[in-house]
Amino acid sequence: MAGILIGFVIGIPWLGAVALWLTRDRNSSLQHALAVGFSVAAGIASLALIPFASARTVIDLPMGRYFGNLTFTADGLAVTLTAIACVVGSLAVIFSVDYMHGEAQLGRFYAFVLLFIGAMTGLLLSGNLLFMFFFWEITALCSYALISFYNDDPKAVAGGIKALIMTQVGGVGLLAGALITYAALGSYQVADLLAQAGTMPANLLTLAAFGFLLAAAAKSAQFPFHTWLPDAMEAPTPISALIHAATMVNAGVYLLARFYPAFEQVPGWKMAVTAVGLVSALITAFMALTATDLKRALAYSTVSQLGYMVYAIGVGGVFASQFHLLSHAVFKALLFLAAGAVIHATGTREMARMGALGKQMPFVRNVFILGALALAGLPILNGFWSKELILEAGLSAGPQWAYDGMLLGAGMTAFYTLRMTWLVFFGTARETFHVHDAGRAMKVSLGLLAAGTLTTWLLAGPMSETLHGTLPFHSIHSLSLFGLAEEIFTAPATYLALMVVAVGLVIFWMVRHQATTWRENSQKSGAGNWMTILSRESFGFDWLNRQVAGRTVQFASVLQKTQTGILSWNVVGILSAFLAILLYLVWSVK
């Protein structure tokens, strides 16, 4: 049964992708209907898969000597994330019915969304490192294609290329890790790596561990790759919600969590993971303080929250990180989709032009506030529980300086969250828009995500139970909901964190009238100035990332010259290779 369901969650979206590709943009309502149908079916299949979570391999197909068996394992970690991917995926598709209404080339849009959902579930469920890498690359390709969906906009194309190149750097890390594992253990199976990591030579294990960390950092837009995600915001907003907030960027965190037991003992690895998470969380929170583009501000906060998850893994809190991943996927998808409704209504992403939209869009305002409160970490929303769990894990097992940094990050999160909400929905109207509240399809997905933001923390018990029961190599304690509540409310750290959050909120409240004029201030000299410049340049890392992307494109265009398309030149190439091989053979016989 589990095997059939795994086939469904990967097969249904891919079948849908083919079907939508074939519709050829003749009938847009058929395309909307097909996309919603296929994605909702995948969502239902993914939810039905949850009760079948187990540690054993469900599907095992021999693929020949060099690839190992293609295996799928539906353990607790995989089914939870699969459910997130498919359910948030279907909600994003439902949202798109309104958001993409009247756009051209819907077939291309939906086909890539569905291809992405299938690839993401394949990546999560795959028990074979090499096939995990294949799925990983397909998600990167879909991400690229959807960022550049408006392919007549140079910014969108550049953002897509940058995201593709940056995630490829990570792909190299993953491939290297997989090949090293094969070299050392003779197997690509994830289960073998987890079981026999101790028998691998220490230097190879270290290489694999840092290769996976590189892959995770690039995919999850962590330091020093954190600049591709804000540039990816040129994508249509449902894509930002699905791929760049709720699913694909989580793949890095998933990778670290999956292989934590294997690499835990590698000297320096946990510290490196902690440091990457801390640095990412802090610098992007800082950049979110001054961002004036609504989607970029949300993207910075996504990197920052992913930093929290990476940090949690670095200090050994695997469950805390996955729990925050669940909370974050729900409330950040909600925030992005609500932002999408605002952008759809106003036609701009610039917060400096918005303001006082709350009265005209009460529904969107209410759900956005709900998501914002969860992001800031206020009780009793889901973000509160998971963030407190992370901070607690950090306090008990991690270094003190890292904990202090994360606490500061929580305060900054509260500050920029309130700032976003204030600039968009409250204050004075800086421009008049003739806006309408969200449409029906938008309200369905926003409403469901808002309900999720209020309730997913109730799943802490069953989720920890499943992870505890199905991950034999991880040591995850099962934690009842009551136990969680007790643990969090009796810890003094919780109140400290809440105080920091409150301080962040209060500081913004005091400067709220200056927030709207920061843009003008930044043109003159003053406090806003250096902060804006520093943020815009990502502390100089934007330059570095641009260089890497630019050089790769340059190199590619040099290589392009070898593709002349002229037959005679190709024959010359074939002949010279042939002669070279012949000469080598003659030489070696002598």
Partner 1 sequence: MTLTILNAVLFSVVLLLAVGFYGLLITRNLIKIVVVLQTLVKAAIMALVLAGNTSGNPGLGQSAAATVLVADTVVAVVALALAVQVRRRAGTLDIARISTLRG
Are 285 and 232 contacting, i.e. CB atoms less than 8 angstroms apart?
no
Residues 168, 170, 173, 179: is their CA dihedral positive or negative?
negative
Question: Which amino acid makes up residue 341?
Answer: A
Segment contacting partner 1 by CB under 8 A, of 86-94, 156-164, 347-355, 562-570: 562-570
- Check binding of 572 to partner 1 (CB under 8 A): yes
Which of 371, 370, 372, 368 is CA-nearest to residue 438? 368
Q: What are the residues whose beta carbons fall under 8 Å from the beta carbon of 446, sequence distance 6 or more?
A: 95, 334, 337, 338, 341, 363, 364, 367, 438
CB of 580 to partner 1, least distance (A): 15
CA distances from 54 to 72, 193, 370, 472 (A): 11, 18, 34, 10
Segment contacting partner 1 by CB under 8 A, of 389-397, 428-436, 447-455, 559-567: 559-567
**Quick one: three-class SS letters along 114-165?**
HHHHHHHHHHHHECEHHHHHHHHHHHHHHHHHHHCCCCCCHHHHHHHHHHHH
CB of 568 to partner 1, least distance (A): 5
Selected from 556, 571, 577, 580, the binder of partner 1 by CB under 8 A is 571
State both tokens at 201: 């030579």
- Check binding of 586 to partner 1 (CB under 8 A): no
- Check binding of 560 to partner 1 (CB under 8 A): no
Which of 50, 76, 62, 193 is CA-nearest to residue 466? 76
CB of 578 to partner 1, least distance (A): 9
Residues touching partner 1, count (CB under 8 A): 7
Rounded-to-integer distance, Cα 209 and Cα 582, Å: 41
Residue closer to partner 1 by CB (options 265, 576) is 576
Selected from 510, 558, 559, 566, the binder of partner 1 by CB under 8 A is 566
Segment contacting partner 1 by CB under 8 A, of 83-91, 197-205, 550-558, 565-573: 565-573
CB of 564 to partner 1, least distance (A): 9
CB of 586 to partner 1, least distance (A): 14
**H helices of 291-434, where?**
294-314, 318-346, 362-376, 382-397, 400-425
> What are residue 374's phi and psi, to 5 degrees?
-65, -40
- Check binding of 589 to partner 1 (CB under 8 A): no
Residue closer to partner 1 by CB (options 527, 575) is 575
Segment contacting partner 1 by CB under 8 A, of 125-133, 163-171, 311-319, 570-578: 570-578
Segment contacting partner 1 by CB under 8 A, of 47-55, 103-111, 547-555, 561-569: 561-569
Selected from 562, 565, 585, 586, the binder of partner 1 by CB under 8 A is 565
- Check binding of 559 to partner 1 (CB under 8 A): no
C-alpha 28: how far from chain center? 29
- Check binding of 582 to partner 1 (CB under 8 A): no
3-state secondary structure of 62: coil
Residue closer to partner 1 by CB (options 566, 589) is 566
* DSSP 8-state code for residue 456: G
Selected from 559, 567, 585, 589, the binder of partner 1 by CB under 8 A is 567
Segment contacting partner 1 by CB under 8 A, of 128-136, 217-225, 380-388, 569-577: 569-577
Rounded-to-integer distance, Cα 185 and Cα 286, Å: 43
Selected from 527, 575, 581, 583, the binder of partner 1 by CB under 8 A is 575
- Check binding of 579 to partner 1 (CB under 8 A): no
Residues that bind partner 1 (CB under 8 A): 565-568, 571-572, 575
